Amino acid sequence: MKIKAIFFDLGDTLMDETTEVKDQNLVTIDAELVDGAKELLIKLKEMNYKVALVADTRIGTYKNVLGKFDMFKYFDCFAISEELGVQKPDPKIFLFALKSLGIEERDYKNVIMVGNNLKRDIVGANRLGLISVWFHWNDRYPSKPENNEEIPNFEIKRLSELLEVIKRLEGEI
């Protein structure tokens, strides 16, 4: 299998939500990254993967956080709920990223979605036939699938484990 793209959520996937400092409009003005986030994105770009941010967030939040760490250059697409007017698991946010990256429907099965929320990230990915990877490094959100749509294809506890998942999917393991 050739992975066509890798999608990431932002909050508690790349950005540690416990470190957020927000303004009066609930826009995050400062936050820290989850361990290994920038290093993983650098590695994925070195491996020539297309990367998209598919996130339920405020416009200012992703711009402030990614800007702080000089990370815009690692993304090929930004599918942001506040800009698109829909939230995950609505397929429109995923379809925006897929279309922006030129990925055809027959290749959806070769796209990875990494997120921390079963009800939003995993359900949204599963409904479109994407490869769902649940980044379960804390228990701030429900951590037991309530139905089949919430069951991820893979579960990781550290972002670096995504590289092993990719190798397995690419047939290198």
Q: What domains are there in the chain, each with its CATH number?
A: 5-169 (3.40.50.1000)
Order of strands, edge to edge, in the sheet holding 50-55?
Answer: 77-80, 50-55, 5-8, 111-115, 131-135, 154-156
- Contact (Cβ atoms closer than 8 angstroms) between residue 152 and residue 132: yes
pLDDT score at 139 = 86
Q: What pairs with residue 118 in β-bridges?
A: none
User: What is the Cα gyration radius of the chain?
Assistant: 15
The residue ranges of the chain whose pLDDT is under 70 are 173
- Contact (Cβ atoms closer than 8 angstroms) between residue 131 and residue 113: yes
pLDDT score at 173 = 57
